[in-house]
Amino acid sequence: MKKIAVLALLLVWAVCPLMAQNGEEATEEKLSAEYYSALFAEKDSAKAEILKAELLGKYPKGAFARRLSAESVNSATDSAEYMARCDAFRRDFPISEWLASPDGSGFVYMNFYRSYSQFLYQKGVWDKLRQVMPEMTYSMLADLYSHGPMYLIMKAPVDPKEYVDISEDIIRNMWAKKDCNPDMYNGGKIMPADGSMNYYLAVETEILQRSGRPSEAVECMDRADSAVRYNQYADGNESYIKALEELGRHGDAVTALLGATAVGRLTPELFSMLRNHYTSLDEKPAGTFDAYYESLKTETARENLRNDVMAGMIDEPYESFSLTSIGGKKIKSDGFGPNDIVVLDFWATWCAPCIAALEGMQLAVDKYADDRDVHFFFICTQDEPDRKRVRNIWKRGGYRDMTVLFDENREGSEGHDKVYRSIVKGTSGIPQKAVLKDGRIRYIAEGYGGSPSGLMDEISAVIEILKAE
């Protein structure tokens, strides 16, 4: 009995601290709930201040104090004060302590580091950013990279030499943490690697090659998983191949070109390079370039393309329409013949993905240039009929034989989306492709996957399916 009593007493001693700790946590949660209720629901600022003082007095390093400190940075009046408050938060509530003993408030760190790192990046305070990056998780760094270097290389006319150094530093930190990424919204649970690093490496390859660093560009791309290396980003493939050529590694460049072709991730320049490679071969592996191009694709790539295309195939009627081209010519749907296959590309001058997709559509237009049954029209929708702006886009991209039409207003509307709304249902997204045949809508697809050759293959597959009917 004495032994049982001693064991019971030891058990009480062991459990009591845990009970006290759980009680404290519950008390902090309860007081926090009362504080936010008083502040927002009851609008009782005096009561809220009393509760805040009690919380900070009892739990100066607790979740409430941490959140309050993180949110206080937003009330800074200038950049210097903002940075001082951010550094105070990092000092008083280091993320390393939270990672060692995570709770449910990881979102505080996610929001804080997202805002602070982007502030430092945009202000060009890169030495401070380099001090902060080691504290950031993979997801935080990926968010910074997406809104910083990746945005610039894809959408801004900024010389990558201006940001290549910090871009490399971000990638280096991401690489170190790619396999240990705590979920800041789920108690710090470590998430498995999701493969996104491969995509960022392909983007970084473009930044490095365009910055005059071919050796580093090749090294960067070579770090990507070889099984999926060329299936990430078509412009990254182009930069990798160019870097290999710059280093005199022509054989490796050809291997990479064939690898990019196999998965359908070619830019127009790579497509031209592939054609030139075919022409240079003394013994042609296929009778025509088109046959050669098709022979290079893997069965997985073809199967993926078939599945994607079949998912967009429909058979619905559409309202007849009449639109005016940029040159002033009327295009009437009633004039389409029973064998005509009509590809409509709904786009806008303000839509970056729409403009990016024009490269792939040019490849498709070129492929069917001699086919009198296939017609392409590029309908500028949800946009003003600004002929000068459209012509500037066409001139900048070198586009040719691509007829632009201007969408019209619906009755009672000023949206310039009449034909778009009559054909595309349930969404307002662009770019949007619609393929018509014999008075019916036979295919609809929204968005752009980033591969010009992939888009050409998609449109070609639809056309060939309809031709075979």
Q: Which residue has tokens 């004039």? A: 335
Mean pLDDT confidence for 221-250: 96
Q: Which residues pair with 373 in a beta bridge?
A: none
Q: How far are the Cα atoms of 100, 264, 348, 383, 429 from residue 354, in angstroms, in the given order?
A: 45, 19, 7, 12, 10
Please determine, for residue 255, whether its predicted confidence score (pLDDT) is greater than 50: yes
CA separation for the pair 419, 415 (Å, rounded): 11
Please determine, for residue 52, whether its predicted confidence score (pLDDT) is greater than 90: no
pLDDT tier, 187 (very low <50, low <70, confident <90, very high otherwise): confident
Contact 123, 160 (CB under 8 A): no
CA separation for the pair 165, 111 (Å, rounded): 25
Q: What is the pLDDT of residue 26?
A: 53
pLDDT tier, 129 (very low <50, low <70, confident <90, very high otherwise): very high
pLDDT tier, 414 (very low <50, low <70, confident <90, very high otherwise): confident
pLDDT tier, 199 (very low <50, low <70, confident <90, very high otherwise): very high
- 53-97 confidence digits (pLDDT tens): 988 889 999 889 999 999 999 999 999 999 999 999 999 999 999
Encoded tokens for 276: 């030139």
Contact 257, 234 (CB under 8 A): no
Please determine, for residue 23, whether its predicted confidence score (pLDDT) is greater than 70: no
Does the model's pTM come out above 0.85? no
**Cα-Cα-Cα-Cα dihedral sign, residues 282, 287, 288, 292:** negative
378 vs 36, residue with greater confidence: 378
27 vs 15, residue with greater confidence: 27
Q: What is the pLDDT of residue 8?
A: 38
- 435-454 confidence digits (pLDDT tens): 999 999 999 999 998 889 89
Backbone angles phi, psi at 455, to 5 degrees: -70, -40
Contact 129, 120 (CB under 8 A): yes
Mean pLDDT confidence for 28-47: 88
Q: What is the pLDDT of residue 56?
A: 87
25 vs 130, residue with greater confidence: 130
CA separation for the pair 415, 428 (Å, rounded): 11
444 vs 415, residue with greater confidence: 444
Encoded tokens for 89: 């938060």
Please determine, for residue 250, whether its predicted confidence score (pLDDT) is greater than 50: yes
Task: Name every residue whose Cβ is closer than 8 Å to that of residue 199 and which is 6 or more positions away in sequence.
Answer: 232, 233
Mean pLDDT confidence for 156-161: 94
Please determine, for residue 17, whether its predicted confidence score (pLDDT) is greater than 50: no
Percent of the chain with pLDDT over 70: 94
Please determine, for residue 24, whether its predicted confidence score (pLDDT) is greater than 50: no
Mean pLDDT confidence for 181-203: 91
14 vs 248, residue with greater confidence: 248
Q: What is the pLDDT of residue 290?
A: 87
- 315-357 confidence digits (pLDDT tens): 999 999 999 999 999 999 999 999 999 999 999 999 999 999 9
Q: What is the pLDDT of residue 16?
A: 38
Contact 167, 117 (CB under 8 A): no
Percent of the chain with pLDDT over 90: 76
Please determine, for residue 246, whether its predicted confidence score (pLDDT) is greater than 90: yes
Q: Which of 169, 196, 191, 167 is nearest to 179 (CA)?
A: 191
Mean pLDDT confidence for 158-162: 97
pLDDT tier, 130 (very low <50, low <70, confident <90, very high otherwise): very high
Mean pLDDT confidence for 211-230: 97
Please determine, for residue 393, whether its predicted confidence score (pLDDT) is greater than 90: yes
Exposed/middle/buried for residue 100 (C-beta within 10 Å: 0-12, 13-18, 19+): exposed
Across the chain, mean pLDDT equals 91
3-state per-residue secondary structure call for the chain: CHHHHHHHHHHHHHHHHHHHHHHHHHHHHHHHHHHHHHHHHCCCHHHHHHHHHHHHHHCCCCHHHHHHHHHHHHHCCCHHHHHHHHHHHHHHCCHHHHHHCCCCCHHHHHHHHHHHHHHHHHHCCHHHHHHHHHHCCHHHHHHHHHHCHHHHHHHCCCCHHHCHHHHHHHHHHHHHHCCCEEECCCCCEEECCCCHHHHHHHHHHHHHHHCCCHHHHHHHHHCCCCCCHHHCCHHHHHHHHHHHHHCCCHHHHHHHHHHHHHCCCCCHHHHHHHHHHHHHCCCCCCCCHHHHHHHHCCHHHHHHHHHHHHHHEEEEECCCCEEEECCCCEEEHHHCCCCCEEEEEEECCCCHHHHHHHHHHHHHHHHCCCCCCEEEEEEECCCCCCHHHHHHHHHHHCCCCCEEEECCCCCCCCCCCHHHHHHCCCCCCCCEEEEEECCEEEEEEECCCCCHHHHHHHHHHHHHHHHHC
Q: 248: phi > 0 → left, psi -120 to 50 → alpha, else beta; which? A: left
Encoded tokens for 32: 């926090």
Mean pLDDT confidence for 426-432: 93
Q: What is the pLDDT of residue 3?
A: 43
